[in-house]
Amino acid sequence: MSNGGGGACEVQWAGERLLLLPERAISWPAAGVLFVADLHLGKAATFRALGQPVPGGTTAQNLARLDALLAAHAVRHLVVLGDFLHAAQARTPALLAALEDWRERHAGLACTLVRGNHDSRAGDPPPGLRIDIVTEPWLVGPFACCHHPQQHPTHFVLAGHLHPVCGLHGSGRDSMRLPCFVQEGAQAVLPAFGEFTGGWYVERAEGRRFYPIGDDAVWTLP
């Protein structure tokens, strides 16, 4: 395990070199794959439809971050570990048009979505986005791509769903919570990629390793 450059943390999981990125994604350089989880696109629009005065612009921010990652890491295949869209109310004309424009910019990119619980409610992305829709576990190389954290008999699991955060504690009552990657045995959970998402606090436990994200860097908690 080492610093992978640019704030990334390099790990060896299932015999493969992976980069845990501060943009809340995992790069698998040897395969040209980028893993992300829990984009929850259109979540802010869903809340606004319910009368909640939340700010707009999160979809554009998410897609811009994704653009930058695809360019920086020479990605050939994007794998989304569930919850691409947030809900049926997220399927607004503006959001679908933004996704069509994004897909046109990356016409040669292979895209796979592992269905999550929100995808079941939101419905599959439109066929014109050319996203392969699969169910968990979906196997690629030594990895079992899932939405829900689980064990697999032969493959290392990469999952989402939890939106994990961990705690850092200073002196006295000084503390903070940060999004993180969590690895335990042959399983790792990614932080939520989406800008407008909550977080679930993951308790420390023996054999559980945390990789918090802060100040544009990923590191290992002792």
Whether residue 80 is contained in a domain is answered as yes
CATH of the domain at 110: 3.60.21
Which of 98, 95, 62 lies closest to 80 in space, CA to CA?
Answer: 62
Whether residue 169 is contained in a domain is answered as yes
Split at pLDDT 50, 70, 90, the class of 172 is: low
The whole-number pLDDT of residue 190 equals 98
| Crossing angle of helices 93-105 and 58-72, rounded to 10° | 10
Using alpha carbons only, give the angle 77, 81, 84 rounded to the nearest 5 degrees: 95
Whether residue 51 is contained in a domain is answered as yes
Beta bridge partners of 139: 144
pLDDT per position as a tens digit, 101-149: 999 999 999 999 999 886 677 678 888 999 999 999 999 999 999 999 9
Chain center to CA of 13: 17
Using alpha carbons only, give the angle 102, 192, 52 rounded to the nearest 5 degrees: 80
- Respond yes or no on whether the N-terminal peptide bond of residue 142 is cis (omega within 30° of 0): no
Residue 51, pLDDT > 80, answer no
Query: Which residues, including other chains, have CB under 8 Å from residue 158's CB and lie 6 or more apart?
Result: 26, 35, 81, 143, 144, 145, 146, 188, 190
Whether residue 70 is contained in a domain is answered as yes
Residue 179, pLDDT > 80, answer yes
Query: What is the domain range of residue 143?
Result: 19-203
pLDDT per position as a tens digit, 182-218: 999 999 999 999 876 778 889 889 999 999 999 999 9
Whether residue 11 is contained in a domain is answered as no
Question: Could you tell me the pTM of the whole model?
Answer: 0.90
Which of 82, 179, 85 lies closest to 129 in space, CA to CA?
Answer: 85
Whether residue 71 is contained in a domain is answered as yes
The whole-number pLDDT of residue 177 equals 86
Instruction: Give the DSSP letter string of the chain.
Output: -EEEETTEEEEEETTEEEEEETTTEEEEGGGTEEEE----BTHHHHHHHTT----S-HHHHHHHHHHHHHHHTT-SEEEE-S-SB--GGG--HHHHHHHHHHHHHTTT-EEEEE--HHHHHH-PPPGGG--EEE-SSEEETTEEE-SS----SSSEEEE-SS-EEEEEE-STT-EEEEEEEEEESSEEEPPP--SS---EEPPP-TTEEEEEEETTEE----
Report whether 77 contacts 109 (CB < 8 A): yes
Q: Please state the domain count of the chain.
A: 1
Whether residue 213 is contained in a domain is answered as no
Whether residue 217 is contained in a domain is answered as no
